[in-house]
Amino acid sequence: MPKRAVLFTDRQLIHFLKINCLRNCKTYQARKPLWFYNTSLKFFLNKPMLADVVFEIQGTTVPAHRAILVARCEVMAAMFNGNYMEAKSVLIPVYGVSKETFLSFLEYLYTDSCCPAGIFQAMCLLICAEMYQVSRLQHICELFIITQLQSMPSRELASMNLDIVDLLKKAKFHHSDCLSTWLLHFIATNYLIFSQKPEFQDLSVEERSFVEKHRWPSNMYLKQLAEYRKYIHSRKCRCLVM
């Protein structure tokens, strides 16, 4: 027997369409990979479309969206929602960071990812993250710097122009305890390289004491090495067969 047609009232039909539309929407969202949400907001990065705030940096402007900034950064949430000038102003000046660094900072807020071009840029981004109290970004920059330095061969460490002691002092000043502790150990374990550099003299008394105490190679090792080399070149170590 043929199935009986089911008749809907207008109200029932509207309710049916709403339920199915909601189900389809949820199914579509569930099928989207996680990266979709991280990259979709990137289309709004530094774009005037729907922007409701403009940052002024080094004589140029960068458009942004308050809703994204407030959701991702507690400092900006307080800045835009509190009794501050920024809450009522559209044009907001930014000091202490370059445009490139601030754009990298915004990229992290919009996409939850960042890719510094090098150690110097990562340090600048770390300082910006500390300024706006985005601790996760600060830790990402710390890890990037540590990974980059750790992968460098000794020859590159000896010839590079990067001031490690200055990096250490900036890390301490901006409360990057993980990075500053690691850098101090890094200087100590590469003592022969960094002790020859002029900036080594800029270490504080406390830092210098730590480095000397944990240096590698240690004075004892170098003394024993010198004695061993002297021994193998002495007559006592000549081959008896020859």
Q: For residues 205 and 186, what is the distance between their CA atoms, to the nearest angstrom?
A: 17
CB 110 within 8 A of CB 51: no
Confidence of residue 33 (pLDDT cuts 50, 70, 90): low
**Res 35 pLDDT > 60:** no
Q: Indicate the range of 5-9, 180-184, 195-199 predicted with least confidence.
A: 5-9
Q: What pLDDT score was predicted for residue 219?
A: 77
pTM: 0.77
Q: What pLDDT score was predicted for residue 18?
A: 46
How much of the chain, in percent, has pLDDT values that exceed 90? 66
Reported as half-sphere exposure (CB side, CA atoms, 13 A), residue 155 has a value of: 0
